[in-house]
Amino acid sequence: ANVLIENDKRVDKDRIRMKDKSDHATTENVLDSRIKKKLHKLFERGVLAEINGCISTGKEANVYYAKSKNQDEIAIKIYRTSILTFKNREKYIRGEYRFDHVYSLHNPRKMVKIWAEKEFSNLKRLEQGGIRAPRPLLYGGHMLLMEFLGSDGWASPKLKDAILTESKSRMLYRECIEIMWKMYNKCRLVHADLSEYNILYHNGSVVVIDVSQAVDRDHCNAIEFLRNDCSNITAFFKKHNVGVMSLQALFDFITD
């Protein structure tokens, strides 16, 4: 309980300033009272033993580092409930048969709950498809608990920040292609935001993260999203002097 009080103190510092369209500064608190209650329950149930600070504060979510009672490292992702974030994300939910029916434009909190549920279900699909990604643990409200990727409390770097030799880059390029192929053909998913920003370099391999916006293959924009993913991956490895396939060849390889 002490840890949570400590954490409560940190909450005020956790306020971030966002500017809305009319340029009025608005303050948004990620750890609202509902989330705090949920976290409190997880402490009581022994799922969590400590929360040790923030791994990342971004536009769409904050990610916190935590430990379970038996010292397993956990990443807690808490999605922002601000209007700015879900306007951006509507196109990923609309036309997605799994979630379209529950999408309510009138209730921000409900809408953002869907990100957590969607990311959880997508991570499950990745796990079943044998794709390296954080193991999903549980979700509730606009919060998701998953396996922490890193060691001794240090998160593994994003692919964009990894220091790679040319031969390592070639290897990781092949891994990325395999991941995209498996995602499409085994999990029936398109990541839809795949880039060096949403791939971690962990234990010498690439690991996919941030799949809240990933869509089913049947989504009306799936092909457009996949092209974009292919293009990001190609551009990144080209920059690292890997002899990459043409965009079309890559796209055909994944979809044929």
Q: How far is the CB of 87 from ligand ATP (least distance, A)?
A: 14
Among 66, 159, 194, 209, binds ligand ATP (CB under 6 A): 209
Q: How far is CA 20 from CA 24, 78, 80, in A?
A: 6, 20, 14
For ligand ATP, which residue of 63, 194, 226, 250 counts as binding (CB under 6 A)? 63
Residues near 237 by Cβ (< 8 Å), separated by ≥ 6?
169, 172, 173, 176, 244
Which is closer to ligand ATP, CB of 30 or CB of 222? 30
Q: One symbol per residue from 141 to 180: x for binding Mn ion (CB under 5 A), - otherwise; what is it?
A: ----------------------------------------
Q: Which pairing describes strands 61-67 and 73-79: parallel, antiparallel, or unpaired?
A: antiparallel
Task: Please report whether residue 198 would count as binding ligand ATP according to CB under 6 A.
Answer: yes
Restricted to residues 106-145, the positions that interact with ligand ATP (CB under 6 A) are 134
Q: How far is the CB of 200 from ligand ATP (least distance, A)?
A: 6
Interaction between residue 196 and ligand ATP (CB under 6 A): no
Identify residues 140-169 at the interface with ligand ATP (CB under 6 A): 146-150, 155, 158
- From the list 53, 58, 153, 204, which residue makes contact with ligand ATP (rule: CB under 6 A)? 58
Determine which residue in the list 50, 60, 96, 117 makes contact with ligand ATP, applying CB under 6 A: 60
66-105 positions binding ligand ATP, by CB under 6 A:
75, 77
Between 134 and 141, name the residue whose CB sits nearer to ligand ATP.
134
Set 210, 216, 229, 256: catalytic member? 210
State both tokens at 121: 């279900």
Known catalytic residue: 32?
Answer: no
Rounded to 5°, angle at Cα 171 from 170 and 172: 95
**Residue 14's closest CA among 47, 76, 56?**
56
- To the query of whether residue 256 is one of the catalytic residues in this protein, the response is no
Q: Which two tokens stand for residue 78?
A: 């808490």
Helices (H), the chain: 2-13, 33-44, 83-93, 108-128, 166-185, 222-239, 247-255
The structure tokens listed for 133 are 């990604």
Shorter beta-carbon distance to ligand ATP: residue 134 or 226 = 134
Q: How far is CA 142 from the centre of its chain?
A: 13
The gap from C-alpha 85 to its chain's centroid, in whole angstroms, comes to 14
The torsion defined by the Cα of 142, 108, 12 and 64, in degrees rounded to 10, comes to 20
Q: Is 56 in the site for ligand ATP (CB under 6 A)?
A: yes
Could you count the other beta carbons within 10 Å of the beta carbon of residue 203?
11
The residues binding ligand ATP (CB under 6 A) are 55-56, 58-61, 63, 75, 77, 134, 146-150, 155, 158, 198, 209-210
Q: Return the active site residues.
A: 193, 210
